[in-house]
Amino acid sequence: MLRASDRRFRLLRDALADLEPFKTVLELASRHGKAASRQVAKALRDEVSNGTSVPR
């Protein structure tokens, strides 16, 4: 059974997972085990320059 804090964390993570830059952070962390702000900024910049993401 999940503790209340675990449930809140999961709800927050699920809510933020669809929003940039949180989506990029989760993708980088799943691939590399962690994500530095520099990596996130570079990934977002690359997505915008490649036209794969629309800046908001």
Dihedral angle computed from the Cα positions of residues 21, 24, 28 and 30, in that order, rounded to the nearest 10 degrees? 110
Model confidence pLDDT, tens digit, residues 6-38:
899 899 888 988 888 888 888 899 999 988 999
Residues 6+ apart with CB under 8 A from 26: 13, 17
Q: Using 50, 70 and 90 to split pLDDT, how confident is the model at 2?
A: confident
pTM here is 0.60
Q: How many CB atoms lie within 10 A of CB 21?
A: 15
